[in-house]
Structure formats: structure tokens, C-alpha cells
């Protein structure tokens, strides 16, 4: 099957732009698989792992939520933040996780709880992607 162009952008930068074979994105309803010639759609992404298969190789990016649009000629991901697996700073993600968990242990206003939960989910997505890279590389 011919590949599909995937562009992942944030407000800050172009994170990834390649022709790929399969995309599995963290959709609100669960994992969303996209092959070339997928029907056009627009959907929201949750913080999580985006897996990409390209030429028999698979790798991942951490996505901190955003939007995914399937167009006839390409797939566009507009992410709040996104990091390719090799870009993830593991110590920073672990520290962010620790901080979020610490905050959630305290009695705090609901808005702060929601913020800490979101931070926790971002950190867990980054840790998952970093861990998968480590396992892939043996």
C-alpha cells in the first residue's frame, strides 16, 4: 500500500513530517488506527503514545493531547506538545510524575487536581514511550 504523509506540529515546531505506513494514535475512544486512504476525519487526542510504522520499522512519540485530522492527501496532528522517543528526557518525566503524584496526595481544589492529573498523564505517556524505545533497542 502507498504510504501516507504524516505531519505532527505544535505551536512551537514541526516535530515530525514523513511518509508512513501505519499510525496508531491515542484517541478519546481508545487507540485509533489509521492506514493510507483512511476516510477523512477530525478527532481529539488524549495524552498518550503515538505509534508509527514506516518501512517495517516501528517507533513512538509522546503526544500531550491535541487534534488529529485525516485529509485526503495527509494526516495532520496538532499537538499541545510532542516528543519523538529519542527526545524524551527520562529524568524530567520521572520528576514530573513524582510532582504530580505528590500534589494529588494533598487536599487541593478540584481545578488543581485536574491540572495535576493532566500533568501525571503527560508524564506517564513520556515514560511509556521512553520505556518502549529502551525495550526495542534491547
Q: What nine digits make up the cell of 61?
A: 512519540
Per the structure block, which three cell numbers stand in for 94? 520521572
* 124 touches ligand ATP by CB under 6 A: no
Count interface residues toward ligand ATP (CB under 6 A): 13
Comparison of 10 and 27: residue with beta carbon closer to ligand ATP: 10
Between helix 110-136 and helix 90-105 the angle, nearest 10°, is 150
- Among candidate residues 100, 90, 77, the one with its CA nearest the CA of residue 17: 77
In the bound state with ligand ATP, the residue whose beta carbon lies nearer, of 21 and 83, is 83
CA–centroid distance for 95 within its chain = 19
The residue (of 4 and 15) whose beta carbon lies closer to ligand ATP is 15
Q: Is 121 in the site for ligand ATP (CB under 6 A)?
A: no
Residues that bind ligand ATP (CB under 6 A): 12, 64, 81, 83, 87-89, 92-93, 96, 119, 122, 126
Amino acid at each position: 500500500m502507498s504510504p501516507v504523509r504524516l505531519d505532527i506540529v505544535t505551536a512551537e515546531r514541526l516535530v515530525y513530517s514523513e511518509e508512513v505506513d501505519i499510525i496508531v494514535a491515542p484517541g478519546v475512544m481508545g487507540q485509533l488506527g489509521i492506514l493510507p486512504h483512511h476516510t477523512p476525519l477530525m478527532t481529539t487526542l488524549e495524552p498518550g503514545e503515538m505509534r508509527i510504522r514506516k518501512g517495517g520499522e516501528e517507533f513512538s512519540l509522546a503526544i500531550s493531547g491535541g487534534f488529529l485530522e485525516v485529509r485526503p492527501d495527509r494526516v495532520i496532528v496538532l499537538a499541545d506538545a510532542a516528543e519523538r522517543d529519542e527526545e524524551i528526557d527520562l529524568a524530567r518525566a520521572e520528576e514530573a510524575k513524582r510532582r504530580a503524584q505528590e500534589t494529588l496526595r494533598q487536599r487541593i481544589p478540584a481545578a488543581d487536581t485536574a491540572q495535576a492529573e493532566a500533568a501525571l498523564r503527560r508524564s506517564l505517556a513520556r515514560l511509556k514511550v521512553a520505556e518502549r524505545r529502551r525495550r526495542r533497542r534491547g
